[in-house]
Amino acid sequence: MTRFESSYRPPMFMALLFAALLAGGGIGRVFAAVDPGVTVAPGTLVGAATEPTVISSSPSNRATSVPTSTNSSNNVVTGTVVTATFSQPMYPATISSSSAGDLLTFAVKETTGNDVPGTVVMNEANTVATFTPTSSALNPNTSYTATVTMAAKNAAGVAMANPIEWTFTIGAIEFTGQTPVNLGKAGPFAILTKSGITDVFPSAINGDVGASPITGAAIHLTCAEVMTGIIYSVNAAGPLPCRVTDPTLLTKAVGDMETAYTDAAGRKLPNFVNLGAGLIGGLTLVPGLYKWSTRVLISTDVTLSGGKNAVWIFQIAGTLTQASATKVILKGGALPKNIFWQTSGAVAIGTTAHFEGVILAKTKIAMKTGASANGRLLAQTAVTLEKNAVTRPAR
């Protein structure tokens, strides 16, 4: 934790000036220059008015290898926050933010200049301001600058005389506790369902396609739409002339799909619980286990940032909805084969939206017109397509 201190020592003339003012009953702050270009130092006391300042911060100034998150004694993981401790009680309205991104007094940004959205609240004594990023965690391998401006005022309405700024760097620390979900015989499939596939022509599928136990007549894709891969059917009613009848393989694949769903849903000790109340659009999500007791909505682009071996598992008790024209973006080498969206409710990928990862759905997966996915659509009811592109990621 950095402590901010001033090395300024007032000259003798200033001390005499203070004494004269006090003797004359003067009350207020002194800004008069002692010599040309020299002003009274911040924190100068004249009567009852003392200019506040920041005396310490966390992370400390120039700190390196700061973790992306902290883990409490009851295994609740939260993203790293930024705090500023003031020399005296402050007026909260000049520091706290009423909404994410509206941070004029206490701001955090990447040193590249990108603002970090978040909210600021004061402690009960109004001496510590805490900046909480809207995203779950600050990004690994990234430097940040925190600033408290002169708009911050103390309880008496006296403003800070100078802004305070400090920098710190988040280290290359990621959650590594999760292993990929084993898909077994479901792994080769781009689309696998128990209740069939509807399709608005043309779609483009790269990877195997199958349905079981429903008859092959419920697979409405044409052979020309499966660019690479095989259409598997439980009987001869599947699409001709390309369908392959293999009920044994399909029974095993569907069983493994259900086992994978149970595995993902049963992972314990989540790193994040009900993050953003299910509104994850605009966030950057680090690897780990995420759990929501409600639905999840991707209303704007969401970024998953992590290395090639990083794993994300999303446990969603409700529906998963991605808004039209939005994207799931991968950074840092993240791979769609290591991203698992386990959903109890229906899944809807909006018009022209782009999705990344393996969907393990208890019910239906609906791809709206022109939507695309790098991943797998594994549904325990139906999959509906409308001129979509689905590409199974490399295993």
Beta bridge pairs of residue 116: none
Considering only the C-alpha atoms of the chain, give the largest distance between any 2 of them, rounded to a whole number of Å.
105
Beta bridge pairs of residue 298: 322
Residue 380 has pLDDT above 70, yes or no: yes
- Reported as half-sphere exposure (CB side, CA atoms, 13 A), residue 74 has a value of 1
Contact 323, 298 (CB under 8 A): yes
User: pTM above 0.75?
Assistant: no
- pLDDT tens-place string over residues 155-199: 999 999 999 999 999 886 555 568 999 999 999 999 999 999 999
**CA 143 to chain CA centroid, nearest Å:** 17
Residue 329 region, left (φ>0) first, then alpha (ψ -120 to 50), else beta?
A: beta
The domain spans of the chain are: 2-170, 184-391
User: What backbone torsions phi and psi does residue 248 show, to the nearest 5 degrees?
Assistant: -65, -50
Residues above pLDDT 70, as percent of the chain: 81
Reported as type and span, the H/E element at residue 256 is helix 247-266
Residue 252 has pLDDT above 60, yes or no: yes
Tokens linked to 251 = 């029974």
Over residues 23-33, mean pLDDT? 33
Pairing mode, strands 128-133 and 118-122: antiparallel
Distance CA 259, CA 117 (A): 39
Least confident of 117-121, 196-200, 231-235, 383-387: 117-121
Residue 376 has pLDDT above 50, yes or no: yes
Distance CA 100, CA 105 (A): 13
How does DSSP classify residue 126?
A: S
Q: DSSP assignment of 357-390, as one string?
A: EEEEESS-EEEPTT-EEEEEEEESS-EEEES-EE
Domain 2-170 has CATH 2.60.120.380: no
Pairing mode, strands 142-148 and 164-170: antiparallel
- pLDDT tens-place string over residues 71-107: 554 445 567 899 999 999 999 989 875 444 455 789 9
- pLDDT tens-place string over residues 299-318: 999 999 888 889 999 999 99
Comparison of pLDDT for 369 and 395, the residue scoring more: 369
Contact 218, 238 (CB under 8 A): no
Distance CA 350, CA 233 (A): 28
pLDDT at residue number 175: 52
Contact 122, 83 (CB under 8 A): no
Residue 220 region, left (φ>0) first, then alpha (ψ -120 to 50), else beta?
A: alpha
How does DSSP classify residue 291?
A: E
